[in-house]
Amino acid sequence: MPKIIGLTGGIGSGKTTIANYLVSLGFPVYIADDAGRKVMQETCVIDAIKEKFGAEIFEDNVLNRAKLAKIVFDDPEQLKILNAIVHPAVKNDFNNWLEQHLESSLVFYESAILFESGSYKNFDTIITVVAPLEMRIARVLERDNATREQVLNRIKAQWTDEQRISKSDFVIENLNIDYSTQKIDEILKILSIS
């Protein structure tokens, strides 16, 4: 059984950059956001979302993610409802994915909401990626079609860096790629001998 390493950080922290580096080294990395998008196309998940949020957030039976995001990131209770639908489906998908990677010594699970979802309890080690707030905002504004206010709302919906760090085994300050890859190399050496 491989060691399961949680990789987390707030939106715009650069955890995807770290995940891509791990993939380039040959490590299996499960991207929870991608899995969430995939499971949200499953009939049972679509039906549950329609029941809780209404059919009007679908266009030609396709979920309008922007409409759903506006609802859930403006209201923490609505976000909890959505997570209660999506998280069990993602957990099931991860378990199926893990079955295909049992020969690996380390596997990584990348998720912005590792702690909020409670899934961190299932992992052997947690790595948190952090970056200064303005750097995170700039990254998300460049990447997504979002306003500064929308980005800040998403950040407010997540745990703070301090909360994540308090429950993490390792922290990477992701200011530039060279420093970050050096840190992940150091962590990998520790994980491979522990």
16 among the known binding-site residues?
Answer: yes
121 among the known binding-site residues?
Answer: no
**Residue in the block written with tokens 């299932």:** 122
15 among the known binding-site residues?
Answer: yes
- Report the Cα 47 to chain-centroid distance in Å: 23
- Report the Cα 101 to chain-centroid distance in Å: 19
Radius of gyration of the chain (CA): 17
14 among the known binding-site residues?
Answer: yes
118 among the known binding-site residues?
Answer: no
Q: What are the structure tokens assigned to 166, written together?
A: 């308090």
194 among the known binding-site residues?
Answer: no
Q: List, as one string, the DSSP characters of 25-90.
A: TT--EEEHHHHHHHHTTSHHHHHHHHHHH-GGGEETTEE-HHHHHHHHHT-HHHHHHHHHHHHHHH
Q: Under a CB-based contact definition with an 8 Å cutoff, are residues 126 and 47 in contact?
A: no
Which residue from 113, 106, 137 is spatially nearest to 32, judged by alpha carbons?
Answer: 113
* Bind-site residues: 12-17
* Bind-site residues for ATP: 12-17
